[in-house]
Amino acid sequence: MKRIHFITVLLAALFFTITLAAPHRAPAASGAEISRDAQQALQKLYNTSSGARAIGEKAVSVLVFPGIVKGGFIVGGLYGEGALIKNGYTVAYYNTVAASYGLQAGLQKYGYALFFMTDGADGYLNRSDGWELGIGPNITVIDVGAAKNLSTTTMKSDIYAFFFDQKGLMGGLGIQGTKVTKISK
């Protein structure tokens, strides 16, 4: 009886989380909307993290996914669309997709930015026909607080990842197994 009660409460919490946190616009945004949202998210990240701003000044390009939705109950997934920014301008659009299976329940919305520090890493993104993060160039996930300790002498990775604007109820953030694919807008 306790197990049925627990599952009922968990399902009700999941339903209310999905109802309250679901995006209110159509999932397929226009290029202009994606570009605007990515530029705003990157500026907000720079305003809250001087380390992200310093890395951004050295980066060849920045791939920003401003609104990723991740959800699941046993089986989960995530989806988001983003823009590749070079010299302050959007030059391409990408989506990010992942699926997972395991002990999980909830819904979460967040964003992340990938700072490409070398021409080789940036080129790898452009050459790949769908890039699975964690395979290819070296990626380092940076906690916003730890970014304060980075300097040009300690920055050794090809790509740095920053997560931001986390909202919702779901444990864990990661990029391993996430696929990034170029899309037309």
| CA–CA gap between residue 161 and residue 124 (Å, rounded) | 16
Side chain identity at residue 93, one-letter code: Y
Please name the residues in contact with 120: beta carbons below 8 A apart, sequence gap of 6 or more: 137, 158
Structural domain boundaries enclosing 92: 2-183
Structurally, how many domains does the chain consist of? Answer: 1
Query: Judging by DSSP bridges, how do beta strands 61-86 and 89-116 pair with one another?
Result: antiparallel
Please name the residues in contact with 149: beta carbons below 8 A apart, sequence gap of 6 or more: 51
Average pLDDT of span 54-75 = 90
Residue 59 binned pLDDT confidence (cut-offs 50, 70, 90):
very high
pLDDT for 20 beyond 50: no
With 0.85 as the threshold, say if the pTM is over it: no
Average pLDDT of span 47-58 = 90
Average model confidence (pLDDT) across the chain? 78
pLDDT for the residue 88: 93
